[in-house]
Structure 1
């Protein structure tokens, strides 16, 4: 049976909303909501927060969570997760973003399960059909197209597939959750950056360009990440309703 842990990379800094992971107008830090959602996933044995910040460490210990201290020089969350993963034992490492307090545990389970369904893929992620009112042309919403086997062919900020002919092809938006087989995660963070990754500013393209498959779980996930104070205000309103 596959063993999986969730690691939440957490830093205090944020360009648009500094300290957002500790925002607590719901009565608990934002990070605590994410932690509890990850903990509720049936495939997850342990949840860890990986951080280099004293304030975040204190908050995690305050709500009874597990925390691992990491270096301060990580270029991204994946690198921080890889450092934390080196100190634990599990078959699969799930990178859960610390600013997604409404992530569904079922989505985490679906991504972990997709690795069992695609044994040749070293990593997995999720996608969902666009909801009513979503704009597939929005470059801030990443799109993904799949093979018939359910693996990623390409991710883009552009609209893909482009509807040139009257052929039904449901556009899918990428859900930024990743699961890695543990040996591959250690390898992944050492891979050289690639042209398409840099052109699109999408880190997951590095895996595809280096020839590694990405399994994609199709879900109905429409949770909201928190990037700005206004988005946090909206989350608080949804939470207290």
Structure 2
């Protein structure tokens, strides 16, 4: 099975302009993401997909591979689909460009899911407590018995109607792996009704009958969304055992 990691890297950002080129202990955020993804050693190829020359130069300085997107895209999924269409791959993993510390075990387990021929899309989740589940920025996922997603929501789901019944809450991590043809088909579908209500593009998959196999991890990724997150990432890096 040939697997490729594609890292969508958009320069513009409303909450933190040019965040991917911000310094993170001697290298930029996008460089850290690229290097930590390569360091897992599990992909046949790692490519940064961008529309901006500054981001491209950061990756080319490392000897990395860049794909320049030619179209205007609304999402990272659309951006990587343009690149994937030109590449020889069985499985494509969408690695978020603003998550600089990728976890080898989590990504290995994500790819492992595709040994099941029924798996078309896989994604990650981790267990959270009741208080964390209250946060609408923490996207929750509920599962069927086969570990496929039933629904994703910003609401606290499942709702505990009977306090005597134990509830497990899982937070979704936005790293996806797709069979190549499914990724391309997904990005050609119209935005779905529930997707527009919750503002969660993965609901488009579910509404169109494309299952998502969920893989549990204990790794909690650091995403650099605002300047304060960058300070957290720097603090983490100083204690990071496998510094890259």
Q: TM-score range by the shorter chain?
A: over 0.9
Cα offsets for 1:196-226 (capped at 9, x unmatched): 1110000000000001111110111212101
- Contact between 1:144 and 1:173, CA under 8 Å: does it hold in 2? yes
Cα offsets for 1:118-152 (capped at 9, x unmatched): x2231110110016x95201100000011111110
Task: Rate the CA distance shift 1:25–1:96 in 2: closer, same or farther, 3 A.
Answer: closer
- Contact between 1:6 and 1:44, CA under 8 Å: does it hold in 2? yes
Cα offsets for 1:28-82 (capped at 9, x unmatched): 1111111122113343111000011011111110122110110241111100000
The 5 Å alignment of 1:109-148 reads 109-117=108-116, 119-130=117-128, 135-148=132-145
Runs of 4+ aligned structure 1 residues displaced above 6 Å come to none
1:114 Cα shift? 1.4
- Taking structure 1 as the reference length, what is the TM-score of the superposition? 0.95
Mapped partners of 1:134, 1:61: distance in 2 = 43
1:103 Cα shift? 2.6
Task: Rate the CA distance shift 1:208–1:25 in 2: closer, same or farther, 3 A.
Answer: closer
Q: 2:174 aligns with which of 156, 173, 176?
A: 176
Partner residue, 2:54: 55
Partner residue, 1:203: 201
Mapped partners of 2:175, 2:33: distance in 1 = 12
1:238 Cα shift? 2.0
For structure 2, the 5+ residue unaligned runs are: 240-244
1:11 Cα shift? 1.1
Partner residue, 2:242: none
Mapped partners of 2:111, 2:188: distance in 1 = 23
Partner residue, 1:162: 159
For structure 1, the 5+ residue unaligned runs are: none
- Taking structure 2 as the reference length, what is the TM-score of the superposition? 0.93
Task: Rate the CA distance shift 1:25–1:149 in 2: closer, same or farther, 3 A.
Answer: closer
